[in-house]
Amino acid sequence: MGFRNFNLDPRLMKAVQEANYTIPTPIQKEAIPVCMEGTDIIGTAATGTGKTAAFVLPILHHLLRSHSHGKHTRVLIVAPTRELAEQNREVIKLLSRHTHIKSAVVYGGVGFHAQEQALKDGTEIIVCCPGRLLDHMGQGNVNLKHVEIAVLDEADRMLDMGFLPDIRRILAALPKERQTMLFSATFAPELVDLINHNLRNPKRISVN
């Protein structure tokens, strides 16, 4: 089975081929069709198994196939560390290279102004760390009312780092009608309450 079986937008397929993606990894094979249906998902797979592309490709396909009235942030990806946020952004840039989709990263330890500008400009995909996004939310720099897809990446690490209260605050600011994806290397029991309150009939995918 190759990536053509997913019926992705031709612009994405061109980027997939240039990135030398040939055979989908197990998590990509299982998760991409579910994500493309708009279903909420809980994906469990080890780090380094291609989880990022498993949610980035369906997100880009959705943005290309559905139009927005005006410029808004339509996708929010929350990651535990700036390194992971940057890694997600690199995959987004790689796979969206033949589109006009814009993305930005928002995390601490760097200047505030460029991030503020990206948030106010309505950049379509924002990849963020929880603390800095909450700082921007507190200053009124970000409008999350048009977010259609939310991704919690490496949820178990966010739990370990004490970000659960921050995640709850961020999700509470998003529209109720959205697609939510949670990806994790392991499934911690503490995530159950978060899932029950924030995901709608999620499909569970676990890949060893």
Q: What is the pLDDT of residues 83-131, one digit of tens each?
A: 999 999 999 999 999 999 999 999 999 988 889 998 888 899 999 999 9
pLDDT confidence of residue 68 = 80
Mean pLDDT of 24-46: 95
pTM for this predicted structure = 0.96
Mean pLDDT for the chain overall = 93
> Can you tell me the distance from the alpha carbon of 44 to that of 205, in angstroms, rounded to the nearest whole number?
6
pLDDT confidence of residue 69 = 76
Q: Any idea how long the chain is? A: 208
Of the candidate ranges 13-27, 163-177, 184-198, the one whose mean pLDDT is the lowest: 184-198
pLDDT confidence of residue 83 = 96
Q: Helix, strand, or coil here: 99?
A: coil
The answer to whether 73 and 143 are in contact (CB under 8 A) is yes
Q: Which amino acid is at 82?
A: R
Quickly count: other Cβ atoms within 10 Å of residue 48's Cβ.
9
pLDDT confidence of residue 111 = 87
Kindly report the backbone phi and psi dihedral angles of residue 138, in degrees, each rounded to the nearest multiple of 5, phi listed first.
-65, -30
Two tokens at 178? 């959205």
